[in-house]
């Protein structure tokens, strides 16, 4: 909720404000997000970039296919859900802006 509030405040900044101020604030909020949300059910994931999550999802699918343990079978759907939400956010961002 706090992150949403920060971004709402950024959106209210006048267009005459120097870009460096907006960039610094967005970078700070992103850094807080990266350091705050790091694990999902014991697996590390990234909330700001999809690249590592795609790699982790592929690795977990391979591991589940080769080891076939119940614990390993739960991980690929988690990463797939995260990646699908990134896709949904990108689509919504494109449609709403």
Q: Are residues 49 and 30 in the same domain?
A: no
Show Cβ contacts of residue 76 under 8 Å, excluding neighbours closer than 6 positions. Answer: 57, 60, 61, 64
Please write the tens of the pLDDT for every residue from 4-58.
676 677 667 767 778 787 788 878 877 777 777 666 666 666 666 777 777 878 8
Query: Which pLDDT belongs to residue 1?
Result: 56
Number of domains in the chain: 2
Tell me which DSSP letter residue 24 carries.
H
Residues in the chain: 97
Q: Are residues 54 and 80 in the same domain?
A: yes
Q: Are residues 89 and 46 in the same domain?
A: yes
Query: Which pLDDT belongs to residue 71?
Result: 73
Query: Which pLDDT belongs to residue 40?
Result: 67
Token output for 47: 């909330």
Indicate the pLDDT class of residue 94, thresholds 50, 70 and 90.
confident
| 64 pLDDT higher than 60 | yes
Q: Are residues 27 and 74 in the same domain?
A: no
Note down the domain range covering 84.
Answer: 38-97
Residue located via tokens 């080769």: 66
Q: Are residues 48 and 8 in the same domain?
A: no
**Is this model's pTM higher than 0.85 or not?**
no
């Amino acid at each position: 909720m706090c992150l949403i509030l920060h971004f709402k405040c950024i959106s209210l900044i006048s267009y005459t404000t120097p870009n460096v101020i907006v960039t610094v604030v967005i970078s700070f909020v992103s850094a807080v997000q990266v350091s705050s949300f790091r694990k999902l059910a014991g697996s590390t994931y990234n909330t700001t970039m999809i690249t590592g999550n795609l790699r982790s999802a592929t690795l977990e699918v391979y591991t589940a296919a080769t080891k076939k343990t119940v614990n390993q079978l739960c991980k690929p759907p988690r990463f797939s859900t995260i990646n699908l939400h990134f896709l949904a956010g990108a689509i919504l961002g494109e449609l709403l802006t």
